[in-house]
Amino acid sequence: MCGIIGFSGNLDATEVLLNGLSELEYRGYDSAGIAFFQNETIKTIKTTGKVSNLIEKVASIADKQTTCGIGHTRWATHGGVSDTNCHPHTFGNVTLIHNGIIENYHEIEKEFAKSGKHPVSQTDSEIAAMLINDLYEGDAYEAIKKATTILDGAYAFCILFKDQPGVIYAIRNGSPLVACQAEQGSIIASDMVALIKYSKDYFVLPEHHIAKLDGQSIEVTTLEGNQMEPKMLHVDWDITSAKKGGFAHFMLKEIHEQPTALHNTIVPRIKNGKLDFKEDGIDDDVFTGINRVIIVGCGTAMHAGLIGKVMFEKLLRIPVTVEIASEFRYNNPILDKNTLVITISQSGETADTLAALRLSKEAGCKTLSIVNVKGSSIARESDYVFYTHAGPEIAVASTKAYTVQLSSIYMIAFKFAHIRGMIDEETYASYLKQLQEVTTAVETTIGYDKKIEEISNCLTSAEDLFFIGRGLDYALSCEGSIKLKEISYIHSEAYAAGELKHGTLSLVTDQVPVIALATQEHVYAKMISNIREVRARGAMVILITNGEMPVDDDLCTHHIILPKTDDQFAPFTAAVVLQLIAYYTSVHRGLNVDQPRNLAKSVTVE
Ligand code: M6R
């Protein structure tokens, strides 16, 4: 959804910006550009394609010495991928970069057209540059403030005014911006990964506040003109966490990081044999007075919610619905103070999930969010936050964030089932023990890497594929399917295994592989019947079971036996297999694993 960065200080700014854009590239990779002050002008260099194209272009330019500039890596929304539509955009005195969507840009554009002013690009962002330029009479604060009363939509802007060399202004509404004042200068960006090289201490620019960066300091001012001290945060990971560290891709690295991520998320919360959420600020009465739970998220986060539904309903006996965040607020949901809304988000910035959270709060619901990025919008706006400790996830395909989301859901379910007297001491202790052992089981499953690489060869030329399962395995199938399609571009669908014969079975042929999850013993016999149904239509079947299970010779083409865990923990190990299948299929098809076409990591627009 676009990555933006601004730097003013005592380093070569083009280098800082280009390094930062390389870190932020996961947010969009349609085009990239920088603009910087030089000899009383602002120089802009931009190009379509990846940041590496921009780095080459900048390298070929002799005169690029500067200490202050801004940079952008784009995920195209308004206006196609072209040189003209690349950021930064300049109009008159103003050069800016933008992450977000200006919803009323067309109306503003029409107003400008009346006085003969026209943008050169097709972007909503250039209209913002035109507007701020129009409102600018030497006072940047006034111009930005007035612009915010006119602009509708989501934005994070970094803005240069030609007559204020060395200074960057920034403001945000909806889209993220974090900043730090380091020894080397002032720096602001969409994500901490671009800042960590300079400082581990940073702040989230509060919404509707203007930041002024001049290299020596960062001043944060309310729209009313009052200076304020933003709340400082600290990250506990370092720059190596945001590098590939010898792995071929970030996705593979992140798959391998799951045992550590799980350990870091689970272990600190178990004290004296009990779950303790005091440091999370989560009271024991979160579930008191509520009579239902709604879990909201997008994509993989929503799929973690599907597992959550099964676990919460099983252990807490509370009705749970799982909602796709982009649908939620437009469906007039029934919400009241007896509803607990759990939002799940790796980035904590997904626009639809954030909007669902805001709607739930307005309706008086209790809100709890499971979030990976500290200080993100969803984390800040929820009544309760349960942080996952996965560290930065860079690959667009979410892996470690998913398994730590699962572990968080399990911990919440175990703790509140215990508090509410739904499970006895012995069961509680056994669940906690098994949850901790998941880390080792996941590690063992990662060790199946080579076998899964080999099996995945048979998917390389598939055009369509099905994932089937029942109960927790159906929820997992949804996750397996999204993972495969987003990075391998193979069309795949997840089906509840029993539902196939109600229509979908007509699509199954010997050209359509089926990945069958059969990790749940209580429905194992039913699953076997469903697998027979697809085998009878000639489908090649990759079967995944939890430990050794009775399997007839002709039941499947390939059989992956997960390290045996209690069935309810099988989603952790099965998820790893599905991630590796997606990963190797993408690799075998020669695709860009970490940056699949048309997608971006953090979806901060509707
Ligand atoms: O940051 P979030 O967890 O809110 O992101 C939600 C989805 O955009 C994300 O999980 C997406 O589906 C992944 N690319 C899937 O691998």
- Give the pocket of ligand 1 (CB within 6 Å): 298-301, 345-347, 350, 353, 396-398, 482-483, 486, 602-603
Specify the pLDDT at position 286.
87
What is the rounded CA–CA span in Å between residue 400 and residue 313?
Answer: 25
Instruction: Say how many Å lie between the CA of residue 597 and the centre of ligand 1.
Output: 15
Q: Which atom of ligand 1 is nearest to the CA of 347?
A: 1
Q: Does residue 594 fall inside a structural domain?
A: no
Do 433 and 499 belong to one domain?
Answer: no
Specify the pLDDT at position 335.
94
Do 69 and 196 belong to one domain?
Answer: yes
Specify the pLDDT at position 26.
86
Do 358 and 250 belong to one domain?
Answer: yes
Of 235, 264, 290, at which residue does a domain stop?
Answer: 235
Specify the pLDDT at position 225.
95
Do 530 and 573 belong to one domain?
Answer: yes
Do 461 and 442 belong to one domain?
Answer: no
Do 526 and 576 belong to one domain?
Answer: yes
Residue 473 maps to which CATH number? 3.40.50.10490
Asked if 288 and 384 touch (Cβ cutoff 8 Å), the reply is no
Q: Which atom of ligand 1 is nearest to the CA of 405?
A: 3
Q: Does residue 70 fall inside a structural domain?
A: yes
Q: Which atom of ligand 1 is nearest to the CA of 397?
A: 16
pLDDT along the chain (606 residues), means of 10: 94 96 90 94 95 95 92 89 94 96 94 95 95 98 97 95 98 94 97 93 96 98 96 84 88 97 97 95 88 97 98 96 95 94 96 96 97 91 96 95 98 95 96 97 97 97 97 98 98 96 92 98 96 96 96 93 97 98 98 92 77
Q: Best mutation site among 307, 378, 398, 605 for ligand 1, i.e. most ligand atoms within 8 A of its Cβ?
A: 398
Do 231 and 348 belong to one domain?
Answer: no
Specify the pLDDT at position 395.
95
Specify the pLDDT at position 376.
87
Indicate which residue's Cα is closest to atom 11 of ligand 1: 299
Domain limits for position 52: 3-235
Asked if 472 and 406 touch (Cβ cutoff 8 Å), the reply is no
Of 421, 446, 471, at which residue does a domain stop?
Answer: 446
- How far is CA 335 from each of CA 327, 330, 377, 604, rounded to the nearest angstrom? 15, 13, 21, 24
Residue 513 preceded by cis peptide, ω within 30: no
Do 104 and 153 belong to one domain?
Answer: yes
Of the candidates 5, 324, 429, the residue with the CA atom closest to the CA atom of residue 178: 5
Q: Does residue 204 fall inside a structural domain?
A: yes
Instruction: Say how many Å lie between the CA of residue 32 and the centre of ligand 1.
Output: 23
How many CA atoms lie less than 13 Å away from 337 in the CB half-sphere? 2
Of 183, 216, 235, at which residue does a domain stop?
Answer: 235
Q: Which residues are catalytic?
A: 2, 601
Number of domains in the chain: 3
Q: Does residue 597 fall inside a structural domain?
A: no
Q: Does residue 596 fall inside a structural domain?
A: no
Do 338 and 381 belong to one domain?
Answer: yes
Q: Does residue 598 fall inside a structural domain?
A: no
What is the rounded CA–CA span in Å between residue 472 and residue 259?
Answer: 21
Do 423 and 297 belong to one domain?
Answer: yes
Do 290 and 366 belong to one domain?
Answer: yes
Instruction: Say how many Å lie between the CA of residue 116 and the centre of ligand 1.
Output: 42
Asked if 259 and 439 touch (Cβ cutoff 8 Å), the reply is yes
End-to-end CA distance of the chain: 10
Instruction: Say how many Å lie between the CA of residue 601 and the centre of ligand 1.
Output: 7
